[in-house]
A and B are shown apart, each in its own frame.
Chain A
Amino acid sequence: MKCFIGIDLGSTTSKAVVMDENQDVLGRGITNSRSNYETATRVAKQEAVIDARFTLFRRMLKGNVEEFLVELERAFRLEQFVEQLAHLERTCMGNATGDRFQDIQAEVREALDVVFVRLREEAEVLFAPGAKRKSDFFRDLAGSRYISIAEDVAKQVGIGYDLLVNLYDRSIIEVENRPPDENLKEKFTRALERLIQQGGAGNMDPAEVEKPVREALEVELEETYVVGTGYGRVTLPFSKEHIRSEILCHGLGAHMMYPDTRTVLDIGGQDTKAIQVDPKGIVENFQMNDRCAAGCGRYLGYIADEMNVGLHELGPMAIKSDRPARINSTCTVFAGAELRDRLSLGEKREDILAGLHRAIMLRAMSIIARSGGITDQFTFTGGVAKNEAAVRELHKLVKENYGEVTININPDSIYTGALGAAEFARRAVVEGDAGVELEGAA
């Protein structure tokens, strides 16, 4: 079947959306942007294709199949993990050469052997039904276990622990920056067979669904047209007609999620964008943060680091405050200083955090005003839209400044840009609307 793919290369994460000819989203994928946009593109795209495969399974299978699909995904992820472990092992082995390892090469290899045997043994536990994983990214999952196992093994074999950690650090970067394996069908098949062997998956007998799953795997997902957007788009190995500005993609993406959208606010890692769109999703006007990324997603990341908490803990903490502190500086570094200063004066952490969230939103409001203000309906997208404290401040400020306005926040809002890009890809083929208009300019 024809697939239209949009890829949004952000400064923090890269997202991909796979769409069919009927504008239905088949799959979404996300990965960390790394320092290598080309690999990030391929990984995000592959993740979206994997997700699309699950949509196909859902379409082919009848009845209540969710439990089965959860099991199938678990088994598939295990296959993927084991495959990546093998890459990591080979890379570590390959890197254990040179002067540093001359006298201890045999010991290091032995140690690596032991570490990876244990990692593989643990893999099944890591992906066992009901097991909780702290992250879905390979580097986090493999890294934490490798480091813990390596400590034991280093002692047993009598080599330096640092040596093993260094090997990992060097190798994981290489592995992460290598394009992902493309053998999805084989992995799905192995995962299915694993479930059949186990004899049960959720509420279903896998043998019963084997046929439709295999049929769904046979459906070719043709990569008909790809459009890239986002900060990394210039580094994409794409020709010009396959690249769109993220302003246009966000405008169109928001329009597709909420067709009555007229104003869009997107707060990403390093950009705050205010976009005005017409009833067809065409961008009428936009404004972005100038010269400085204060008040963007990274601001919160920095504050989280300063406070030694996770990024996702900030919102829930700030939402507890009913007396937000007045934070004067929008400068990220100064805000850090102000935070420490106020903490030392005994102000409540929650109040300070709420004040910081308000500061971000005040800055966003100023950018919105510059783009022409808010017209009903208003759609908020980007990573910061997931932060409940930021959303609360936004609601307050919108009401104060623009009265009652419908504010849309989609749980999949992080994919807004990629969705718009996918729609551009679809239009390029289905509506013959490829790339830059030249005729009107003559």
Chain B
Amino acid sequence: MNATPTKPARPAKAPIEAVKDRSMLKQKAMIAGHYDRLTSAHEQGRKVVSTFVPGNLNELIMCFDLINNTPETNAIQSGMRKQSGGFITEAEKHGHSEDVCTYVKSDLGMMLKGNIAPNGKPYPNPDLLLLSYTGCFTFMKWFELLREQYKCETAMLHIPYQGDGKVTQNMRDYVVKQLKEQIIPTMERVSGVKFDIDRLREHLRNSAKAENDLVWVLQSAKNRPSPIDAYFGGIYYIGPIFTAFRGTSDAIEYYDLLRGEIAERVAAGKGPVTPEGDMGEEKYRLVVEGPPNYTHFRDFWKMFYDEGAVVVASTYTKVGGTYDFGFRHDADHPLETLADYCMGCYTNRNLPQRVEMIENYMSEYQADGLLINSIKSCNSFSAGQLLMLREVERRTGKPGAFIETDLVDPRYFSPANVKNRLESYFQMIDQKRKGAKTEAAA
């Protein structure tokens, strides 16, 4: 009996060295190459298009030799690099409210501070702002602010919201019509390149290949133990396909490498890779709804893997495209498939669809519960989340929990509170398991 509790001796704190797989190195090189291409675009005579991750038309963008720049990815980079706090303060100094989306403020603050990319060179001004509106109202306002700043051409693709939970032919036709009559002509004019539909088909074929491998990787979490963390690790896995690489051979190569590595982990019965190496024993399997916090990404992740919690499915990894229910980019219907892709993005789905998706994940991935990370400054994600939580609890009988952080504003991440709630949640799952076991034994 251990009457007097003593803390186990801890080894001296060693610096945490991230363990890199080949796919990680490949991705790192891809991203570095992208930032170099982007920051030297104008010197190289290339044009730049700013667009957003959800509903991004990368295959189409590449048809015009445009270089894709996604401001929210830049905000994420700033968050991970601990710069977003300063940028946000700068934006607030210039009159932006404390409650506005912190991606927006990080981006605007970065602009005010010289607009420097991670490679130390300034971002080029965009030649085109291409907004495909997929459910986030703030994106529209953001681009208005950018248009005011850059005075460049703006194209808006209006994506109908799946209010009734389905995509109709009428909706599809509406998007295709806009692509034909407005988006493509604008892109031709800005780039000076004529649209070639065969080129688009080629990119779409590439997309589908990478998408197959991505889905395989995400679904590998159905294994026990899960070889991946589908939220924290998932953020890295979606990186290439959600940004400037969908439709490229680089993406095909990356996802092929990744799939190979994950297949090895499955064969070896290994859990996910964490920043501190292989995760220990898998104790809790969670589904997570909502974006992560980026300013304390590693600390946040550590609160999970230290407790043996692995995320087996997440909705956030579907914001830039939902592939796990069968959708693939289809080269035979090039414009229609772009429409379907945009309409299927997670934020464009209605609440019942989101609930169904989560319910499906809970059972398919044998999860112990649903955790919602509610983002203070993201109303388009957060509205309705508590109702979703209740509904999923009701349907699955599994316990849910709710934590609150922010995307890239470090002021809204309170480590002690988050840790407290997570630990309580894990212990609650334990208690429920014991209760169920006792009842089963009775």
Interface residues of A (CB under 8 A from B): 222-226, 228, 231, 234, 236-239, 241-242, 244-248, 278, 280, 282-288, 290-291, 370, 372, 429, 433, 436-438, 440-442
Asked whether A238 lies within 8 Å of B6 as measured between CB atoms, the reply is: yes
Bound-complex Cα distance A404 to B336 (A): 58
Give chain A's interface secondary structure class: mixed
Q: How many A-B residue pairs have CB under 8 A?
A: 104
Given the known interface contacts A440-B437, A441-B282, the answer about A248 and B424 at a Cβ–Cβ threshold of 8 Å is yes
Residues of B near any A CB (own CB < 8 A): 1-8, 224, 281-285, 308, 368, 376, 386, 390, 393, 399-402, 404, 412, 414, 416-417, 419-421, 423-424, 426-428, 430-435, 437
A433 to B430 CA separation, bound complex (whole angstroms): 11
Chain A neighbourhood of B399, CB < 8 A: 284-285
Measured CA separation A339–B3 after assembly (Å)? 51
Residues on B with C-beta less than 8 A from A287 are 402
Shortest CB distance A298–B (Å): 15
A248 to B423, CA, bound (A): 10
Contact A372 B390 (CB under 8 A): yes
**Does the CB pair A231–B431 fall under 8 Å?**
no
B427 A436 Cβ-Cβ under 8 A: yes
Residue pair A438, B281 in contact (C-beta under 8 Å): yes
* CB <8 Å contact, A239 and B412: no
Q: How far apart are A138's CB and chain B's nearest CB, in angstroms?
A: 25
**Cβ of B433: which chain A residues have Cβ within 8 Å of it?**
437, 440-441
CA distance A166 to B49 in the complex (A): 67
Q: Identify A288's interface contact among B1, B417, B426, B437, CB under 8 A.
A: B417
Cα A238 to Cα B401 with chains together (Å): 26
The reply to whether A288 and B7 contact each other, CB–CB distance below 8 Å, is no
Are A437 and B434 in contact, CB atoms less than 8 angstroms apart?
yes
Residues of A within 8 A of B426 (CB): 436
B283 near A245 with CB under 8 A, answer no
Chain A CB within 10 Å, residue with most, of B1, B376, B419: B1
- Residues of the A chain whose Cβ atoms lie less than 8 Å from the Cβ of B434: 433, 437, 440
Q: In the docked arrangement, what's the CA distance between A236 and B400, Å? A: 28
Given contacts A284-B399, A291-B412, contact A225 B282 (CB under 8 A): no
- Give bound CA distance, A246 to B284, whole Å: 20
| B7 with A283: CB separation less than 8 A | no
Question: Is A441's CB under 8 angstroms from B6's CB?
Answer: no
- Check A245–B424 contact: CB distance below 8 A: yes
B404 lies within 8 A of A291 (CB): yes
A223 touches B3 (CB 8 A): yes
Greatest chain B CB density within 10 A among A282, A441, A442 is at A441
Known A237-B5, A291-B376, A441-B308; contact A283-B430, beta-carbon cutoff 8 A: no
Q: A88 CA to B282 CA in the complex, in Å?
A: 52
State A288–B417 Cα separation when bound (angstroms). 9
Bound: A438/B282 CA distance, A: 9
Distance in angstroms from B417 CB to nearest chain A CB is 7
30 contacts between A and B (CB under 8 A): A223-B3, A224-B3, A225-B1, A228-B5, A231-B420, A234-B419, A237-B7, A242-B5, A244-B427, A246-B420, A248-B424, A248-B428, A282-B432, A284-B432, A286-B421, A286-B424, A286-B428, A288-B417, A288-B421, A291-B404, A291-B412, A291-B414, A370-B402, A436-B283, A436-B427, A436-B430, A438-B281, A441-B284, A441-B308, A442-B224
User: How far, in Å, is A241 (CB) from chain B's closest CB?
Assistant: 8
A294 to chain B, nearest CB (A): 14
With A282-B435, A290-B404 as known contacts, state yes or no: A239 contacts B8, CB within 8 Å: yes
Q: How far is the CA of A282 from the CA of B432 in the complex (A)?
A: 7
Chain A residues contacting B419 (CB-CB under 8 Å) are 234
Give CA–CA (A237, B281) in the complex, Å. 24
Known: A231-B420, A438-B281. A247 touches B6 (CB 8 A): no
Question: Closest CB of chain B to A114's CB: distance in Å?
Answer: 42
Most buried by A among B281, B376, B423: B423
- Give CA–CA (A237, B8) in the complex, Å: 9
Query: Taking CB as reference atom, which chain A residue is nearest B307?
Result: A436
Chain B residues in 8 Å Cβ range of A245:
420, 423-424, 427-428
Q: Which of A222, A231, A246, A436 contacts B3 (CB 8 A)?
A: A222
Q: Which residue of A lies closest to B435 (CB)?
A: A282
Partner of A438, one of B2, B283, B414: B283
Task: Identify the closest chain B residue to A438 (Cβ).
Answer: B283
Q: Check B431–A248 contact: CB distance below 8 A.
A: yes
> Which residues of chain A have C-beta atoms less than 8 A from B424's C-beta?
245-248, 283, 286
Distance in angstroms between the alpha carbons of A441 and B369 in the assembled complex: 13
- B6 touches which one: A237, A282, A437 (CB < 8 A)? A237
Whether A239 touches B414, Cβ cut-off 8 Å, given contacts A283-B428, A437-B430, A437-B434, is: no
- Chain A residue at minimum C-beta to C-beta distance from B400: A285
**A-B interface, 5 closest residue pairs, ranked by CB to CB distance from nearest:** A242-B5, A245-B424, A247-B424, A238-B5, A440-B433
Q: Which residues of B contact A278 (CB under 8 A)?
A: 435
Q: Which residue of A lies closest to B284 (CB)?
A: A441
The residue in chain B whose Cβ has the minimal distance to the Cβ of A225 is B3
A285 to B425, CA, bound (A): 9
List the B side residues contacting A237 at CB < 8 Å: 5-7
The CA of A26 and the CA of B74, in the complex, are separated in Å by 60
CB distance from A135 to the nearest CB of B (A): 29
In the complex, the answer to whether B4 meets A226 with C-beta atoms within 8 Å is: yes
A284 to B399, CA, bound (A): 7
Closest-CB distance, B404 to chain A (whole angstroms): 4
Write out the residue numbers on chain A whose beta carbons fall within 8 Å of the beta carbon of B1: 224-225, 429
Point out the residues of chain B lying under 8 angstroms from A372, CB to CB.
390
Contacts of A222 in B (CB 8 A): 3
| A-B contact sample (11 more), CB < 8 A, given A283-B431, A286-B428, A290-B417 | A222-B3, A237-B6, A241-B2, A242-B2, A245-B424, A280-B435, A282-B431, A282-B435, A286-B421, A291-B412, A441-B285
Most chain-A CB neighbours within 10 Å: which of B1, B390, B420? Answer: B420
Complex contact A231–B432 (CB within 8 A):
no
Q: Is the CB of A223 within 8 A of B281?
A: no
Which chain B residue lies CB-closest to A370?
B386
Contacts of A370 in B (CB 8 A): 386, 402
Q: Quick one: which of B281, B419, B432 has the most chain A CB within 10 A?
A: B432
Residues of A close to B376: CB separation below 8 A: 291
- A242 CA / B416 CA spacing, docked (Å): 19
Select from chain A the residue with minimum beta-carbon distance to B430.
Answer: A437
CB-CB under 8 A from A429, the residues of chain B are 1
Query: Which residues on the B side are within 8 Å of A433 (C-beta)?
Result: 434
Residues of B near A436 (CB, < 8 A) are: 283, 426-427, 430
A228 and B284 CA atoms in complex are apart in Å by: 23
The smallest C-beta distance from A165 to any residue of chain B, in angstroms, reads 35
- Given A440-B433, A441-B283, the answer on whether A247 and B428 have CB atoms closer than 8 Å is yes
State in angstroms the CA–CA spacing of A246 and B416 once bound together. 13
Chain B contacts of A247 at CB under 8 A?
421, 424, 427-428
Q: A291-B412, A440-B437, A441-B282 are in contact. Are A226 and B5 (CB under 8 A)?
A: yes
- CB neighbours (8 Å) of B414 from chain A are 291
Task: Find chain A residues with CB under 8 A from B386 CB.
Answer: 370
